[in-house]
Amino acid sequence: MLTGQSITILTPVQSGTDPVGDPVWTQREETVDDVLVQDGAQANETDAPRAYGVSIDRTIHLPRTWPYHSLRGCRIRLADGTLYTVVGDPLPYTGGITPTRWNLTVQLYDERG
């Protein structure tokens, strides 16, 4: 039986503007349980270049029980405290064709290089 771990999603939220009208951002933290975490993209080196020109350092799978919202611009903190950035804006699988508890695959990269 597969068992996931807890992660934290850090979502940027505009909380106002500064004196010159530029947006001021804060982060909303959300904990999600039962997330599967795997290393990298699990692909061959000969695959086509990755989206946005980044290498995929981790891939996570969010459970169907998580109320979906856009992950564009979000960061993910894994249970070990490592912080990753979400690649693009992943969408959940549609329909009932996936017979597992997880329906959203999210690719992550480490900005530290």
Cβ atoms of 75 and 95 within 8 Å: the answer is no
Per-residue pLDDT of the chain (113 residues; tens, 9 = 90+): 778 999 999 999 999 999 999 999 999 999 999 999 998 755 545 455 555 556 889 999 999 999 999 999 999 999 999 999 999 999 998 766 667 889 999 999 988 76
CB-neighbour burial class of residue 11 (10 A; exposed 0-12, middle 13-18, buried 19+): middle
Own/partner long-range contacts of 19-24 (Cβ < 8 Å, ≥24 apart): none
CATH number of the domain where residue 52 is located: 2.40.10.270
Give SS3 for 61: strand
Six-digit token string for 28: 């909303």
Domain span at residue 94 reads 5-109
β-bridge partners, 86: 108
Short-list 111, 44, 35, 50, CA closest to 80 = 35
For the chain, how many structural domains are there in total?
1
